[in-house]
Amino acid sequence: MGAHADRFAERGAEARSALVRRIVASGGLTDPAWRAAFEEVPRHLFVPYYFIGRAGSYERLWCEDPDPERQDRWLRGAYADEPLATRVRDGELVSSSSQPSLMAEMLEALDVRDGDTALEIGAGTGYNAALLAHRLGAEAVTTVDLDPEITEAARRHLAAAGYRPAVVTGDGARGCPERAPFDCVIATCTLPSVPHEWLPQCSPGARIVAPLSTGIIVLRVRQGPEGRTAEGRFLRTSAFFVPLRGTQVPPEARAGGLPRRAVENDLFRFLLSLTAGSLDPREAMSLWDRERRPERNRFGITVADAHQWAWLDDPEGPYVWPLDTRPS
């Protein structure tokens, strides 16, 4: 890794600056501290190789390719504002590096402050943990992944970039109690619901940012008389991540038999997934039509003890339904 780090350092810095300018031009990275993190953390060190889908298979690009033209493609791709497939098994994507502009939006939504401690669920390449370590200090960051191959690779990438947060091999749905409490939790994998073991590991006032259904939920943790609760809304942004291992995201096959205008609509598929186990597809479509195709940010989630429910507009309003929190 050291040889390729030296070889691509200058070109990588130029490509990184261009990426940051693109994100800023689109309205992202308004916080100077996060902008500095994206400007200084070298993404290419975290993706020494990645895969590009080609007609049902994957083409591998890597930093040590003997073909200079393919090396250039690899470096350009490392700084494209696109997700990168970094680990594929039997044709199935199991790990990726998320789209940088979406990462920036999620990190800014964490609303971190100096002195905060952070838990990341889904170590991936280690790039997101490096951004957190740049902002908060490595000693304040814990990243967890179930796959020991992924955590070992993330640890190597982080060390090559000069960051040494705690990298833990374990079930992200259980958090990391030995490193708790945390002031913020960010997940980089899609959840079917908020794992109930996270809240006791959060400080009062902690923020949770996580992909759920096909959106990003932003929750604030509160300490109430009967324990911890969390509540918040979705961002407007759509998001598609690798599912948390050991969970199962409700299939879009529920849309079978519905009109094409609904099935092909991204917002309706979000609602359909969010109401799995509570509303049948026809009821979901009736709600969608009645409420004039609501955007994601009109929806929210409340978590209390082992129960959690989703809602439209108001947690005390007429449109409230339980999330399916049964083990998959």
- Is 18 within the bounds of a domain? yes
- Is 221 within the bounds of a domain? yes
Residues 149, 260 share a domain: no
Residues 195, 64 share a domain: yes
Report pTM: 0.92
**What amino acid positions are annotated as catalytic residues?**
95
Structural domain ending residue among the three candidates 233, 258, 287:
233
Question: Cα dihedral sign for 171, 173, 176, 182?
Answer: positive
- Is 241 within the bounds of a domain? no
**Residue 18 belongs to a domain with what CATH number?**
3.40.50.150
Give the pLDDT confidence of 263-315 residue by residue, as tens digits.
788 899 899 889 887 888 889 999 999 999 999 999 999 999 778 999 999 99
Which of the four pLDDT bands, split at 50, 70 and 90, describes residue 3? low
Residues 9, 86 share a domain: yes
Give the pLDDT confidence of 168-200 residue by residue, as tens digits.
999 999 999 999 999 999 999 999 899 989 999
Number of domains, the chain? 2
Structural domain ending residue among the three candidates 233, 258, 276:
233
Give the pLDDT confidence of 79-98 residue by residue, as tens digits.
999 999 998 887 777 788 99
Residues 254, 222 share a domain: no
Residues 199, 173 share a domain: yes
Give the pLDDT confidence of 100-156 residue by residue, as tens digits.
999 999 999 999 999 999 999 999 999 999 999 999 999 999 999 999 999 999 999
Q: Which of 3-7, 34-38, 238-242, 250-254 has the lowest mean pLDDT?
A: 250-254
The confidence score (pLDDT) of residue 277 equals 79
> Using alpha carbons only, what angle is made at residue 141 by residues 51 and 114, rounded to the nearest 5 degrees?
125
Residues 141, 114 share a domain: yes
Which of the four pLDDT bands, split at 50, 70 and 90, describes residue 217? very high
Which of the four pLDDT bands, split at 50, 70 and 90, describes residue 325? low
- Is 39 within the bounds of a domain? yes
The confidence score (pLDDT) of residue 56 equals 63
Residues 214, 263 share a domain: no
Residues 204, 163 share a domain: yes
Residues 164, 286 share a domain: no
Question: Which residue range forms the structural domain that includes residue 260?
Answer: 250-322
The confidence score (pLDDT) of residue 19 equals 97
- Is 328 within the bounds of a domain? no
- Is 239 within the bounds of a domain? no
Q: Which two tokens stand for residue 94?
A: 């199991």
The confidence score (pLDDT) of residue 54 equals 65
Helix residue spans in the chain (DSSP H) = 2-25, 32-40, 68-78, 100-109, 127-136, 148-161, 260-263, 266-274, 281-290
Spatial CB neighbours of 27, under 8 Å, sequence gap ≥ 6: none
Please report, as a single letter, which amino acid is at residue 42.
Answer: P
The confidence score (pLDDT) of residue 155 equals 98
Residues 267, 144 share a domain: no
Q: What is the mean pLDDT of the chain?
A: 90
The confidence score (pLDDT) of residue 262 equals 77
DSSP class of residue 81?
A: S
Structural domain ending residue among the three candidates 233, 268, 300:
233
- Is 132 within the bounds of a domain? yes
Residues 296, 206 share a domain: no
- Is 274 within the bounds of a domain? yes
Which of the four pLDDT bands, split at 50, 70 and 90, describes residue 6? low
Residues 68, 33 share a domain: yes
Give the pLDDT confidence of 231-272 residue by residue, as tens digits.
999 999 998 887 776 555 444 445 566 787 777 888 998 998
